[in-house]
Structure 1
Amino acid sequence: MGLLSQGSPLSWEETQRHADHVRRHGILQFLHIYHAVKDRHKDVLKWGDEVEYMLVSFDHEKKKAQLVLSGEELLETLQEKGERTNPNHPTLWRPEYGSYMIEGTPGQPYGGTMSEFNTVEDNMRKRRKEATSLLGENQALCTITSFPSSSICCRLGCPGFTLPEFKPNPVEGGASKSLFFPDEAINKHPRFSTLTRNIRHRRGEKVVINVPIFKDKNTPAPFIETFPEDEEATKASKPDHIYMDAMGFGMGNCCLQVTFQACSISEARYLYDQLATICPIVMALSAASPFYRGYVSDIDCRWGVISASVDDRTREERGLEPLKNNHYRISKSRYDSIDSYLSECGEKYNDIDLTKDKEIYEQLLQEGLDHLLAQHAHLFIRDPLTLFEEKIHLDDANESDHFENIQSTNWQTMRFKPPPPNSDIGWRVEFRPMEVQLTDFENSAYVVFVVLLTRVILSYKLDFLIPLSKVDENMKVAQKRDAVLQELFYFRKDICKGGNAVVDGCGKAAGRAEPAAEEYALMTIDTIINGKEGVFPGLIPVLNSYLESMEVDVDTRCSILNYLKLIKKRASGELMTVAKWMREFIAKHPDYKQDSVITDQMNYSLLLKCNQIANESCECPELLGPAFRKVRYSGSKTDSSA
């Protein structure tokens, strides 16, 4: 969840007074890092995953599932029993936005050998077992992207969705002023409530999230929610949409992320660009969040929901009023797709108008940065959202809090991460669009697929680049219902064409003519992943070709092929995405009235089934297929017979 400073958080008014100071010194801190390590090469290829979890309690008698607000206590115990006792402990645990959430990572990063791929799932299972062992009776650690909710009684966005139960606090004293989401569901670390409050104060109003409702046979037409006691909600909500009004509806969701350490800054920039084009494809493949605030929505992915949940732009910045108090029109939320490629081979594909601070840009050019890296500081048009009194005046040569303050609150599909000051960590990139899956097997499959793809990109010098505007279009399409089967995505036709542009010398390719439309085409995800003769070779066949050329032990090869088989079958439709499986589960539930409403018992049944699948106490061939089953632990403390 980014920078977690300790101290006394400032109000928005106080933070705003120091905004220029934070930006100015954040750039100075980056420059100290850049000049110290810009020429460092031959860092070891390392990587690691991040899995976010929700804590769920099952009341089998009342057929009710709730989110357990004990994340902070669980985290403290896990850290005390783990990393604080043994620095080489195999797992690490970190806080997340919701007080019902925790984040788990491997204790040490994985290395560059192929055998590491065979340890990912074991480590994920270890994390699940470790945390589950500390839960109470009838509680479970669930890897679900969004918590299905009921408009009648319980779950995310309604009274009673937490344990213990708390009511929302829509009055001025609340952090979010939400009609639906209680402040007690926000992690108690001051960063999180301060972020929530300051986003609202900076914006000048509550955040607005409108998700299209799925129109079923008995869904009211038009579907309209009424909020008679809240004029702001009445004005903000849209017909045929599910209305939400708090950061928790976005940042309270769970995801799956991977961070890679590159060998050099140029390699990191190359990977950043190439993977940016893959983000919408993998997001659609991992779709797992079709339900919001008690209703069935018409989207399958959480991305746009989170984007709106942290959108702190004022009306002026959103173009709704003339610029008067603000400096810029800003086209996107802080949480969105990337705005520019970083490598020289990506330069000609930068076709999005970039809003940047010209003074900062010129400063970076004068310090010797090339213009592509200098313009990446467009992130610094944003204000800091949190600031601690004790962290205002820092040693810019040895600290990076001001840089990270801005960097870590720009939540884009890819994140370019300079090394921390005075560390042996290298230049890194973070891949951020994936939705978390129900099982450790699925999460491992998506992680291994993306990591293996980076190895092939670097080994074969592949070129996935297309105009960035087309990547943005893909991001919008990827969130649609059943996009993996129903939608078309822009993708480069000849991914080997740029193969002569080596990573450190891809500037040679930058002088080519403007990108031509024939370089890319609209394709199905099945074509992109599995290939189609005469159209595209397919990413899986390319990965298989790479594997055949590598020396890989039998167990590792079998594991990788099993993971790729899952991705292949999700892309072809032979296996369902989690989102599609969830939709079908609800559609077939005896209580469902084809009105797009998810009741308490439906929510309970769904989450119980999800937990049983995660702990392998039941089969789910529609989601996983028959060939993926292994003998694993039973890591649930819930009564699976209910």
Structure 2
Amino acid sequence: MGLLSEGSPLTWEETKAHADHVRKHGIIQFLNEYKRLRDRKKDVLYWGDEVEYTLVKFDHEKKVARLCLRAEDVLNELQKEEKNHPDDHPTTWRPEYASYMVEGTPGKPYGGLMAHFNLVEANMRLRRNELKQLLGKDEHPLALTAFPRLGCRDFTTPLTTPTPEEGASRSLFYADPVIFQGHPRFSTLTRNIRERRGEKVAINIPIYKDKNTPSPFIEDLSKYGDNGESQSAAKPDHIYMDCMGFGMGCSCLQVTFQACNIDEARNLYDQLTPLCPVMLSLSASSPVYRGYLSDLDTRWTVISQSVDDRTQEERGLKPLKENKFVINKSRYDSIDSYLSCKTHNDINLIYDEEILHKLKSEGLDDLLSRHIAHLFIRDPISLFSEKIDQNDEEDTDHFENIQSTNWQTMRFKPPPPNSNIGWRVEFRPMEVQLTDFENAAYTVFLVLMTRVILTFGLNFIMPLSKVDENLQKSFKRNALMDEKFCFRTDILTDCSPPEAEKCVIECCEGKTCTSQNQFKALTIDEIVHGKDDYPGLIPLINKYIDMVEIDVDTRCTIQQYLNLISCRASGKLKTTATWIRDFVTNHPDYKQDSVVPDSVNYELLLKCSQISDGEITDSTLLPSTVTSRTTDNIPKAMSKVDAYLNNKNARNGEITA
């Protein structure tokens, strides 16, 4: 969750009047913190996860499942124990966008010991149990990315009624009480994004065209009270949604890492960026929106469109007059620049020249200056009257106001003021999974990848334009099995910019490469398990595990998690998205018309609940006797890794875990 300042929220016009003030003082606050903390070093890796839960209520008599709008009451109880035991409580709870969502994290971050990997799943299970104890009969916490019938008639309990002509969202489908009411940030963001844009947000995602789906698929939105604005914004053969809640009402799994120092944080930020599309595809779990089967498997573009506050001028639809920049992306999107590598920043970066000059004149290097100056092309979209005037030597709210509303695939996070926390990076694209086992597996896999990257000195960096192309592919239905992704295969060496540019163009178009074969088009299976001279992510993790001191129990735990990732990547196990899609299309009440009726939604979520609680298993979704592939599949690649590590040891001394 982003910045949660307390106070009286300003209207958009009032916020706009203070936008330059916020930007000016936000930069001053960042510079003050940077100068104080740029040399801070932390010897121990700290890391933690964030899991967002959806509260669902079942009516078994009517056979319907509804979103349960009790998050505020539940959070109040959860936070009582946390406040009573601030130093040793094992869980932490925070509000999220919707009244049916809560976010749970470990009470304290995990450390650098391998044995800490044994704690992740147990803590996730504890969080789920804490939630369950506070819920009523037939109410369940689900780690569910997207509620399938969000925005349909009567999708909440208690029932809510949209108000298209008034309120924060003015949505045809999503009533304001569904937005979390316990903090003004969420309704304020909803209102100000709409007002800044000058119209409602327009979310269009392709519908899955089944046998009986109308062609073209065009909804009559007048029955929802549309005055014509939505009908003109809705695209044929697309599912249309019209407010922030459809995106920010989705749940995800995020992982934050504390680095040793600012340079290591910048390196991790860069090296993890090419893995964002890979992990999004591997964790795909959201194929249904507003009661329709979509032709996508992931939520990312839905959220991106849901908070796109760019005006028509900023979207390039009108000449610039009131605004300063044509901005290429929504404020929720992929990153636009690396922080430690100049070579592959091949995206046209939009930044504020004045801010860039200010940062560089204060001693910041060009890459970090451009990153911050790019973030600060955005306006603040939530501001509180009590927070306008701040002490720039002590406060960072103006900086965080802009920083925390740039919702990108990766986030570079300076240390908070008045704390002993170090420089951090946040990995944001993954979709949440149904079970604690799965969420622990994805978390541990990613943490191990950071250890592999830093210990082996690997280089996954590739042109950002290709990362963006990969991200677009990762949205698609069954992308895990059907798509090939441009990926760096020569991860042990660098090559000069001209060779890199030539190589990415030729290799990823399937032509013969005359350069160093740095980039190739690979399936997710090949990225995870290796191909030819490229060793693969899991074999690299296994090589790292072989090098460090680890007990038998921890190794067994890790291997179970790697087994899940391996089987998902190879297609031996379904992604949650494929599993949900197959459940819907094989249900007798599904009419092959792309519509997911109440009865299908009820039985789907009931099965999700039973799987989450361990009452039933599904061997197509979770591993049983399936075994993962090993490093033995690619001995040539691993021998190359061994030779590289031996040379590195000779140059730099022994590598330590």
Which TM class, normalised by the smaller chain length? over 0.9
Q: Which residue of 2 aligns with 1:352?
A: 347
SS of equivalent residue, structure 2 residue 200: coil
Is the 1:348–1:515 Cα contact (8 Å) retained in structure 2? Answer: no
Instruction: Give the whole-Å Cα distance in 2 for the aligned partners of 1:600 and 1:17.
Output: 46
Instruction: Give the whole-Å Cα distance in 1 for the aligned partners of 2:295 and 2:453.
Output: 34
Instruction: Give the whole-Å Cα distance in 2 for the aligned partners of 1:627 and 1:616.
Output: 17
Is the 2:81–2:89 Cα contact (8 Å) retained in structure 1? Answer: no
Q: Which residue of 2 aligns with 1:407?
A: 403
Displacement of 1:524 in angstroms is: 0.3
Equivalence map 1:70-109=2 (5 Å): 70-109=70-109
- Residue among 474, 477, 486 paired with 1:478: 474
Is the 1:159–1:166 Cα contact (8 Å) retained in structure 2? Answer: no
Displacement of 1:496 in angstroms is: 1.1
SS of equivalent residue, structure 1 residue 421: coil
Q: Residue 267 and residue 74 in structure 1: after superposition, are their counterparts in 2 closer, same or farther (change >3 A)?
A: same
Q: Does structure 1 residue 391 correspond to structure 2 residue 384?
A: no
Is the 2:42–2:422 Cα contact (8 Å) retained in structure 1? Answer: no
Is the 2:500–2:518 Cα contact (8 Å) retained in structure 1? Answer: no
Q: Which residue of 2 aligns with 1:234?
A: 231
Q: Which residue of 2 aligns with 1:583?
A: 581
Equivalence map 1:149-298=2 (5 Å): 149=149, 156-171=150-165, 173-188=166-181, 189-228=183-222, 229-298=226-295
SS of equivalent residue, structure 2 residue 392: coil
Letter in 1 for 2:455: S
SS of equivalent residue, structure 2 residue 272: helix
Displacement of 1:590 in angstroms is: 1.1
- Residue among 541, 551, 554 paired with 1:553: 551
Q: Does structure 1 residue 321 correspond to structure 2 residue 318?
A: yes
Q: Which residue of 1 aligns with 2:637?
A: none
SS of equivalent residue, structure 1 residue 622: coil
| Higher deviation after alignment, 228-237 or 604-613 | 228-237
Instruction: Give the whole-Å Cα distance in 2 for the aligned partners of 1:384 and 1:174.
Output: 20
Instruction: Give the whole-Å Cα distance in 2 for the aligned partners of 1:136 and 1:393.
Output: 44
Alpha-carbon deviations, 1:228-250, whole Å to 9, x = none? 34200110001100000010000
Q: Which residue of 1 aligns with 2:562?
A: 564
Displacement of 1:42 in angstroms is: 3.5
Q: Does structure 1 residue 365 correspond to structure 2 residue 365?
A: no
SS of equivalent residue, structure 2 residue 42: coil
Displacement of 1:316 in angstroms is: 0.3
Instruction: Give the whole-Å Cα distance in 2 for the aligned partners of 1:598 and 1:364.
Output: 52
Letter in 2 for 1:464: F
Q: Which residue of 2 aligns with 1:525?
A: 524
Letter in 2 for 1:592: Y
Letter in 2 for 1:527: E
Q: Residue 514 and residue 524 in structure 1: after superposition, are their counterparts in 2 closer, same or farther (change >3 A)?
A: closer
Instruction: Give the whole-Å Cα distance in 2 for the aligned partners of 1:435 and 1:577.
Output: 11
Letter in 1 for 2:483: E
Q: Which residue of 1 aligns with 2:120?
A: 120
Q: Which residue of 1 aligns with 2:62?
A: 62
Displacement of 1:493 in angstroms is: 1.3
Letter in 1 for 2:344: Y
Instruction: Give the whole-Å Cα distance in 2 for the aligned partners of 1:205 and 1:437.
Output: 34
Instruction: Give the whole-Å Cα distance in 2 for the aligned partners of 1:427 and 1:515.
Output: 31
Q: Which runs of 5+ in 2 are unaligned?
A: 504-516, 628-657
Instruction: Give the whole-Å Cα distance in 2 for the aligned partners of 1:418 and 1:493.
Output: 31
Is the 1:159–1:165 Cα contact (8 Å) retained in structure 2? Answer: no
Equivalence map 1:133-148=2 (5 Å): 133-148=133-148
Instruction: Give the whole-Å Cα distance in 2 for the aligned partners of 1:552 and 1:620.
Output: 31
Displacement of 1:41 in angstroms is: 2.2
Alpha-carbon deviations, 1:310-329, whole Å to 9, x = none? 00000000000111110000
Letter in 1 for 2:177: E
- Residue among 451, 455, 473 paired with 2:451: 455
The percent of aligned pairs where both chains have the same amino acid is 62
Instruction: Give the whole-Å Cα distance in 1 for the aligned partners of 2:242 and 2:491.
Output: 42
Looking at both structures, which has the greater relative contact order when contacts are Cα pairs under 8 Å and sequence separation is at least 6? 1
Letter in 2 for 1:465: I
Q: Does structure 1 residue 332 correspond to structure 2 residue 329?
A: yes
Displacement of 1:127 in angstroms is: 0.3
Is the 2:203–2:302 Cα contact (8 Å) retained in structure 1? Answer: yes
SS of equivalent residue, structure 1 residue 613: helix
Is the 1:285–1:570 Cα contact (8 Å) retained in structure 2? Answer: yes
Q: Which residue of 2 aligns with 1:129?
A: 129
Instruction: Give the whole-Å Cα distance in 2 for the aligned partners of 1:340 and 1:145.
Output: 28
Instruction: Give the whole-Å Cα distance in 1 for the aligned partners of 2:496 and 2:560.
Output: 38
Displacement of 1:571 in angstroms is: 0.3
SS of equivalent residue, structure 1 residue 480: coil
Instruction: Give the whole-Å Cα distance in 1 for the aligned partners of 2:249 and 2:442.
Output: 22
Alpha-carbon deviations, 1:313-351, whole Å to 9, x = none? 0000000011111000000000000000000xx211000
Instruction: Give the whole-Å Cα distance in 2 for the aligned partners of 1:334 and 1:272.
Output: 18
Is the 1:83–1:91 Cα contact (8 Å) retained in structure 2? Answer: no
Q: Does structure 1 residue 613 correspond to structure 2 residue 611?
A: yes
Q: Residue 165 and residue 393 in structure 1: after superposition, are their counterparts in 2 closer, same or farther (change >3 A)?
A: same
Displacement of 1:550 in angstroms is: 1.2
Instruction: Give the whole-Å Cα distance in 1 for the aligned partners of 2:109 and 2:496.
Output: 34
Instruction: Give the whole-Å Cα distance in 1 for the aligned partners of 2:499 and 2:387.
Output: 48
Alpha-carbon deviations, 1:578-631, whole Å to 9, x = none? 0000001111111011111000010000000000000010011000021499xx
RMSD: 1.3
Letter in 1 for 2:208: F
Displacement of 1:221 in angstroms is: 1.0
Q: Which residue of 1 aligns with 2:654?
A: none
SS of equivalent residue, structure 1 residue 5: coil
| Higher deviation after alignment, 36-45 or 330-339 | 36-45
Displacement of 1:207 in angstroms is: 0.2
Alpha-carbon deviations, 1:166-216, whole Å to 9, x = none? 111111x31000000010000111000000000000000000000100011
SS of equivalent residue, structure 2 residue 134: coil
Aligned length: 609
Q: Does structure 1 residue 374 correspond to structure 2 residue 369?
A: yes
Is the 1:198–1:386 Cα contact (8 Å) retained in structure 2? Answer: yes
Displacement of 1:510 in angstroms is: 8.1
Q: Which residue of 2 aligns with 1:635?
A: none
Is the 1:347–1:510 Cα contact (8 Å) retained in structure 2? Answer: no
Instruction: Give the whole-Å Cα distance in 1 for the aligned partners of 2:139 and 2:598.
Output: 17
SS of equivalent residue, structure 1 residue 415: strand
Displacement of 1:535 in angstroms is: 4.9
Displacement of 1:513 in angstroms is: 6.1
Q: Which residue of 1 aligns with 2:624?
A: 626
SS of equivalent residue, structure 2 residue 440: helix
SS of equivalent residue, structure 2 residue 240: strand
- Residue among 464, 467, 474 paired with 2:463: 467
Letter in 2 for 1:559: T
Q: Residue 422 and residue 85 in structure 1: after superposition, are their counterparts in 2 closer, same or farther (change >3 A)?
A: closer
